[in-house]
Amino acid sequence: MGKSALECGHREAKRYATTKQITSSARLLTETHGLEGFTMDDLAARAGVSRRTLFNYFPSKIDAVLGVHPDLDPDLLAEFHAGGPHGDLISDLGVLAGQLLDTKDLSRDEVAQMQRVLMSSPRLLLACHERFTHMTDAFVEEIRTREGAKFDETRARVAIRMLAALFDLTLDHYVADADDRPLSEVYADNLRIARELLAQ
């Protein structure tokens, strides 16, 4: 039993490392040559994986650049559905957002590079927007699961859009600031400031 769990943990760690290596390579190639300036074979060679392995991880260059969208922690999501952890919708959405930020495990340089890469390609910006739209729809459903079907969908979408704006601001602060706080802490501070402003 213990060996099986250990093997499972090793496989997950290896998959995570491979995913990060492919994504990092895709972003470097995009920044250096442009999205159209390299092939999937070039990406596989740069990442040190076979073409078959590459396609097992990502179906396209765009997916490789954007990376895998992290999943919400099931226990945290269950707590959110039950009205926690704070009993306040905006604060609790902030906790979920913070967990996603921590899961990404991005350095300051990686965030800055990702911003540059996205701005270099309209196709990447469009794909990023499509992902955001999908994420918004998913979060709206999570809110309505928690608050009930009578909770106005427009209110749910406004809440998500506000948090998304704070997310962009957090990335800018994270790149510009010299402190070593994790992204989730910077986001929590920005959320606190936004709540103080809206309360005035």
Estimate to the nearest angstrom the gap between the alpha carbon of 4 and the chain centroid. Answer: 30
Peptide bond just before 122 cis, omega within 30 deg: no
- Give me the domain span that covers residue 47: 1-65
Of 26, 44, 65, the residue at which a domain comes to its end is 65
Assess whether 91 and 174 both reside in one domain: yes
pLDDT of 6 over the 70 cut: no
Span 116-170, pLDDT tens digits = 999 999 999 999 999 999 989 999 999 999 999 888 999 999 999 999 899 889 8
Assess whether 86 and 141 both reside in one domain: yes
Assess whether 108 and 189 both reside in one domain: yes
Q: The whole model's pTM is what?
A: 0.85
Whichever domain contains 88, its CATH number is 1.10.357.10
Region 57-82: mean pLDDT is 94
Estimate to the nearest angstrom the gap between the alpha carbon of 33 and the chain centroid. Answer: 24
Assess whether 117 and 166 both reside in one domain: yes
Region 7-15: mean pLDDT is 82
Number of domains in the chain: 2
Assess whether 128 and 184 both reside in one domain: yes
Assess whether 29 and 78 both reside in one domain: no
Assess whether 54 and 73 both reside in one domain: no
- The larger pLDDT score, comparing residue 181 to residue 160, is at 160
Whichever domain contains 21, its CATH number is 1.10.10.60
Assess whether 61 and 110 both reside in one domain: no
CB of 3 closer than 8 Å to CB of 90:
no
CB neighbourhood size of 174 (10 A): 21
Q: What is the mean pLDDT of the chain?
A: 90
For residue 71, name the pLDDT band (cuts at 50, 70, 90).
Answer: confident
Peptide bond just before 85 cis, omega within 30 deg: yes
What Rg value do the Cα atoms of the chain yield, rounded?
19
For residue 98, name the pLDDT band (cuts at 50, 70, 90).
Answer: confident
Assess whether 85 and 22 both reside in one domain: no
Assess whether 57 and 74 both reside in one domain: no
| CB-neighbour burial class of residue 31 (10 A; exposed 0-12, middle 13-18, buried 19+) | middle
Assess whether 145 and 159 both reside in one domain: yes
Estimate to the nearest angstrom the gap between the alpha carbon of 197 and the chain centroid. Answer: 26
Assess whether 166 and 78 both reside in one domain: yes
Of 17, 34, 65, the residue at which a domain comes to its end is 65
